[in-house]
Structure 1
């Protein structure tokens, strides 16, 4: 069980509120002065890909220069939410959402068992990577970024990319490329500092205004619920207040941006806790980091929204929420 720490007394609470907002201001200003954005390598962020698929995505995501493990993970998450049995209304099948006719020509036997099974992630994930890299070869000589052109070819077809001389002026295709690129940042292991979230101060201010509010399972702060929240309802509402729409549940909120390490946390980061520290889908709790090793969270039934320490056995990781990252998340997973 995580240790808890509750602020006693209104004066202490108000003082901490003021200090926390000052801390946010300092961090945001410092981030803006330093400039730059995070660059990502070819590794995966800890736990971002379910453990059952992590080695597959890491291996096959390096199949060709145009593809990275993070791009492959973003595509799979966008297509199926890691569900290997899903069937779309259009008839796309499995974790990589292959149409049967496409699978017939591009599916491969990824695990060498003599079968090409669209329902087996050991075949479907390698097939998705192989198909991406095949498309990258088709558009190799086309002007522009090779990865963007590959993604555009996946969405619109290689011929359209070649004819357009790059990503074609098709709204759906341009949105797809931007969405996968943004979403991939939540799967990539950062290799440099991640810029602060500009809206962090407003999100924290909202959460602080709810200190002392009783917890409610499923609570989203509606009048009918007496303005009460559960953990992810609070974080969703806090970022909605500053114009960023997050998914409703904690394990989907984890994918709303890149993942700073514990020693790079800044106020406004979402911090997550999981029953399985290798799998983001096992996340069971989220709070808003406020600095000094503490978060504001709605912890459990019988408790109130309060300050709690983040360090504990079930601490999983953090997400620096970005508007583009949140927009890139699929509406259903």
Structure 2
């Protein structure tokens, strides 16, 4: 009887593990959270995501230079690019690790990496030893793609990194 139980358990384990595709692994938590947020259809809002705690919030029209006039940010609950990155990283780390600042503030809390991994941040702008002047950030998904809050009138979505100008590098927290 004991031998039959052991044989049955072995066959069950072999059947279960044989159905799992080889080479597939679970994406990092940051990537999974990015996709979950994308499914919510959250709109872009200039300055959105920068209230006291991370997450969608009404934006601001201060400094707005978007193409939609008049500025809709003050009445739009959503996220801008750095607000999106801030929220995902806060959810993944259990605390607000990036803080309420903009892309320049966030890149200063990270280190540049030459071999990116899904979940790293990809920044756009100009970053030198003396100055940081960034204008966009996205979450690297792998395969040349990023999840980001791209612009006024859009929702959080996946974009090709190469479609955005001024690539500044990949950074890891």
Query: TM class by shorter-chain length?
Result: 0.5 to 0.7
1:231 touches 1:298 (CA, 8 Å); kept in 2? Answer: yes
Structure 2 CA distance, aligned partners of 1:23 and 1:256? 28
How far is 1:217 from its partner?
0.7
1:202 touches 1:241 (CA, 8 Å); kept in 2? Answer: no
- Aligned pair 1:320/2:172, yes or no? yes
Please point out which of 236, 241, 249 is paired with 2:91.
241
RMSD: 2.3
Q: Secondary structure at the match of 2:113?
A: coil
From the superposition, tell whether residues 219 and 313 of structure 1 become closer, same or farther in structure 2 (CA, over 3 Å): closer
From the superposition, tell whether residues 302 and 222 of structure 1 become closer, same or farther in structure 2 (CA, over 3 Å): closer
Please point out which of 237, 253, 258 is paired with 2:106.
253
Q: Secondary structure at the match of 2:146?
A: strand
Greater strand content: 2
- Aligned pair 1:209/2:29, yes or no? no
Q: Secondary structure at the match of 2:78?
A: coil
Which 5+ residue runs of structure 1 have no aligned equivalent? Answer: 1-21, 26-200, 322-333
From the superposition, tell whether residues 235 and 306 of structure 1 become closer, same or farther in structure 2 (CA, over 3 Å): same
1:254 touches 1:318 (CA, 8 Å); kept in 2? Answer: no
TM-score by length of 2: 0.62
TM-score by length of 1: 0.34
- Aligned pair 1:272/2:123, yes or no? yes
**Residue correspondence of structure 1 range 1-333 to structure 2 within 5 A:** 25=27, 201-211=28-38, 212-220=41-49, 221-222=55-56, 228-242=78-92, 243-244=94-95, 245-247=97-99, 248-261=101-114, 264-274=115-125, 276=126, 278=128, 281-311=132-162, 312-321=164-173
How far is 1:256 from its partner?
2.2
Deviation string 1:110-158 (CA, Å, 9 cap, x unpaired) is xxxxxxxxxxxxxxxxxxxxxxxxxxxxxxxxxxxxxxxxxxxxxxxxx
Structure 2 CA distance, aligned partners of 1:287 and 1:236? 10
Which 5+ residue runs of structure 2 have no aligned equivalent? Answer: 1-23, 50-54, 60-75
How far is 1:295 from its partner?
0.3
2:81 touches 2:149 (CA, 8 Å); kept in 1? Answer: yes
1:207 touches 1:238 (CA, 8 Å); kept in 2? Answer: yes
1:231 touches 1:285 (CA, 8 Å); kept in 2? Answer: yes
Q: Secondary structure at the match of 2:34?
A: helix
Q: Secondary structure at the match of 1:271?
A: strand
1:256 touches 1:319 (CA, 8 Å); kept in 2? Answer: no
Structure 2 CA distance, aligned partners of 1:283 and 1:23? 33
